[in-house]
Amino acid sequence: MDQLNELAKWRAKEAKHQPSWPDLDKLKDDTDYLRTLPPLVFAGEADKLRREIALASRGESFVLMGGDCAETFAESTADHIREKIRTILQMAVVLTYGASVPVVKIGRMAGQFAKPRSKPTEVRDGVELPSYLGDIVNGFDFTPEARTPDSSRLIQAYQHSAATLNLIRAFTTGGFADLSKVHEWNKGFMQNPAYAKYENLATEIDRAMRFLHAARVSDESLRTVDMYVAHEALLLDYEEALTRIDSRTGNLYNCSAHMLWIGERTRGIDDAHVDMLSRVHNPIGVKLGPTTQSSDVLALIDALNPEGEEGRLTFITRMGAGVIRDRLPSLVEAVKGDGRPVTWVSDPMHGNTITTDEGFKTRRLKDIFDEINGFFAVHSQMGTHPGGIHLELTGDDVTEVLGGSEEVLEETLGERYETLVDPRLNHQQSLEIAFLVAEALQETAL
Ligand code: TRP
Ligand code: MN
């Protein structure tokens, strides 16, 4: 019970980007109800993920995080979830086989429902309403009813997360992830270079699988994968209600996801977000933007990983293709000097967002490639390990990011622009990134 009192200390700090709930009594009822519901993940799983991320900090594994900018309730369907899992599995196969490195698979899924926004309100045709803050807070429709924050949505978010996680567990352990199915995961036209490249790789893996079969090698690990989930721990009332005491150790774990991250906008050292996550034992990520100072990074290590536990703290850099080569080295230098281990992950999406003349928020695949290459180059210069990659992607054939071998052009962005928040890589662009990263990792190993 003492720990839960400690956990509540975030309330004395400044909590940025929280909704203004119209009915605080209802918020209390809803969060009290959430506290009675079962945990979504278990402490032992979070510990296992922490050990796997620790390997990535040493270059002995590679973290692949991917999923929507914002999940929505309407798109939490079996088809959308399966396609996202398929995409992550295909990327993981490309990386595992192409770079001979174990891949830690983390879905930005089953809880990625809350969004910080640059402005608290949105004005359209002279009408001002609260901004859309994600399905866990309000609705996207531009009406007063939809945009008013409603804390019943916290419970709906929990239910969608539970159903999504259940499907993830079923798909990754129930046969879908079997390595003898790599061919079946492919889709689309083989004229597409990314799919053709994948097809060749799948043929090689099939041969290897037939060889293993003939050699009577059989292991459960060929048929299943461990897939973890993570989201931005933004809405502190929700995160607190799902934080529980582990009966084995008496420690606090946030049981809404295996891993949580703190966004660039809420990572201030005195912010409530840092306070809350300093008290739980999950692996934690922190996003670092282009203005991050070495002193920020050192203060974050002091707050979030004072003991220097391996795998506990991941820095997810989102600098922008134009500046990563200038800004990252001093941060890496500071961390090296400190000596406590961190895992470095690249988010090549958020520093590279642009708006087209027509008003579409988009990103160029070539900038995303460029930031990834810069991330690898800096770590190679500094003698540190590029530990992973964090992407906004969907398994569907949307047209939200510009470029790719089946090129999405400015003129065609409108065809299937479906995101409510940030533009996502489509299935084929995601595979292209996996091949690029596999090549970069092969070079690192040389
Ligand atoms: N279990 C292993 C792993 O997670 C091998 C594996 C099985 C795998 N199915 C997979 C790897 C699908 C990638 C994709 O690495
Ligand atoms: Mn985003």
| Ligand 1 probe mutation, 61, 201, 218, 221, most atoms within 8 A of CB | 221
Q: Which atom of ligand 1 is nearest to the CA of 179?
A: 9
Instruction: Yes or no: say if 294 and 251 are a contact pair by the CB < 8 Å rule.
Output: no
Given pLDDT bands bounded at 50, 70 and 90, which one contains residue 41? Answer: very high
pLDDT value of position 446: 63
User: pLDDT digit string (tens) for 126-154?
Assistant: 999 999 999 999 999 999 999 999 999 99
423 Cα–ligand 2 center, Å: 8
Q: How far is CA 56 from the centre of its chain?
A: 16
Given pLDDT bands bounded at 50, 70 and 90, which one contains residue 186? Answer: confident
The Cα 44–Cα 61 span in angstroms is 20
User: pLDDT digit string (tens) for 252-287?
Assistant: 999 999 999 999 999 999 999 999 999 999 999 999
**pTM for the model:** 0.97
Instruction: Yes or no: say if 91 and 434 are a contact pair by the CB < 8 Å rule.
Output: yes
Task: Indicate which residue's Cα is closest to atom 11 of ligand 1.
Answer: 93
DSSP letter (8 states) at residue 304: H
- Give me the residue spans of the domains in the chain: 2-177+224-445
182 Cα–ligand 1 center, Å: 10
- Across all residues in the chain, what is the average pLDDT? 96
Q: What is each CA distance from 23 to 70, 134, 153, 239, 304, in whole angstroms?
A: 25, 18, 13, 19, 33
Q: Which residues contact 238 (CB under 8 A, 6 or more apart)?
A: 31, 34, 114, 136, 154, 157, 158, 256
Q: What is each CA distance from 330 to 17, 235, 335, 336, 349, in whole angstroms?
A: 29, 32, 9, 10, 21
Share of the chain above pLDDT 70, in %: 99
Q: Which atom of ligand 1 is nearest to the CA of 182?
A: 12
DSSP strand pairing (227-232 vs 259-262):
parallel
- Could you write out the DSSP letters of every residue in 316-365? EE---TTTHHHHHHHHHHHHHHH----EEEE--SGGGEEE-TT--EEEBH
As a whole number, mean pLDDT of residues 306-322 equals 98
The Cα 414–Cα 223 span in angstroms is 39
The Cα 387–Cα 323 span in angstroms is 20
Residue from 374, 344, 388, 348 nearest 64 by CA: 388
| Ligand 1 probe mutation, 48, 91, 179, 198, most atoms within 8 A of CB | 179
Of 382 and 186, the structure prediction assigns the larger pLDDT to: 382
Of 148 and 1, the structure prediction assigns the larger pLDDT to: 148
Residue from 24, 175, 177 nearest 92 by CA: 177
CATH class as words, domain 2-177+224-445: alpha beta
pLDDT value of position 355: 95
Please determine, for residue 185, whether its predicted confidence score (pLDDT) is greater than 80.
yes
Given pLDDT bands bounded at 50, 70 and 90, which one contains residue 1? Answer: low
Please determine, for residue 40, whether its predicted confidence score (pLDDT) is greater than 80.
yes
- Could you write out the DSSP letters of every residue in 146-160? HHS--THHHHHHHHH
Q: What is each CA distance from 322 to 84, 91, 124, 290, 367, in whole angstroms?
A: 29, 26, 33, 10, 8
Instruction: Yes or no: say if 111 and 161 are a contact pair by the CB < 8 Å rule.
Output: yes
Nearest ligand to the CA atom of 202: 1
As a whole number, mean pLDDT of residues 284-311 equals 98
Kind and range of the H or E element at 177? none
Given pLDDT bands bounded at 50, 70 and 90, which one contains residue 192? Answer: confident
As a whole number, mean pLDDT of residues 155-183 equals 97
Does the C-beta of 222 come closer than 6 Å to ligand 1? Answer: yes
Kind and range of the H or E element at 244? strand 243-245
- Please report how many Cα atoms fall inside a 13 Å half-sphere around the Cα of residue 128, on the Cβ side: 3
Please determine, for residue 3, whether its predicted confidence score (pLDDT) is greater than 80.
yes
pLDDT value of position 187: 74
Task: Indicate which residue's Cα is closest to atom 7 of ligand 1.
Answer: 222
Task: Please list the residues that pair with 246 across neighbouring strands.
Answer: none
